[in-house]
Amino acid sequence: MIKLIVGLGNPGRQYEKTRHNAGFLFLDELVSKFGCDWVNEPRFQGVLSEYNASIGKVVLLKPETFMNRSGQSVGKIVRYYKIMPEEILVVHDELDLDVGAIRLKKGGGHAGHNGLKDIIAHLGSREFFRLRIGVGRPVTGKVVADYVLTSPSKSEWELINLAIDAGIACMDKLVTGDVAAVMNKLHA
């Protein structure tokens, strides 16, 4: 059962439409779908929203700490709400998936993703769920940081938006703990 959904990204207009903000974009769509509002919460170093799922309240968080310090915000909210790592879903961009692919997994390493690395450090655990939105890898010779901080092409955006829609369509099953059904649907 999921009690907290964290979308990873960087605050600020210059980052809004970049590959690295796939997690923020996902949560913005989710909030729009459920008719929720974002509230700035300085004590959690982020913006929060919540929606009532069939299991109860689910907290949504966009850390305002910038990607590499996402764990600070996540750690604060987890301690406040007494949320266990296995009750957390982190939505993020994934270089190791083709553009527009979407996959769910539990646990694992950070694969060089600094946002995940910081969350793992602050939680002291890797046992949270990850909803990974594929943004593909840069061409050989291009710096990864430059790649993830630029906007995808129009055709790539269409694929990323389809992935976001597919993930949102599975949220009810995911927050209630039907992980196998979500994996079957997203990984097909």
Q: Which residues are catalytic?
A: 20
Alpha helices, H only, the chain: 22-34, 70-81, 114-123, 144-148, 154-169, 171-175, 179-187
Calculate ∠ Cα 188-148-34, nearest 5°: 55
Report yes or no: 88 and 128 within 8 Å, Cβ to Cβ: yes
Tokens of 97: 């998936």
Token pair 């969350």 is at which residue?
Answer: 119
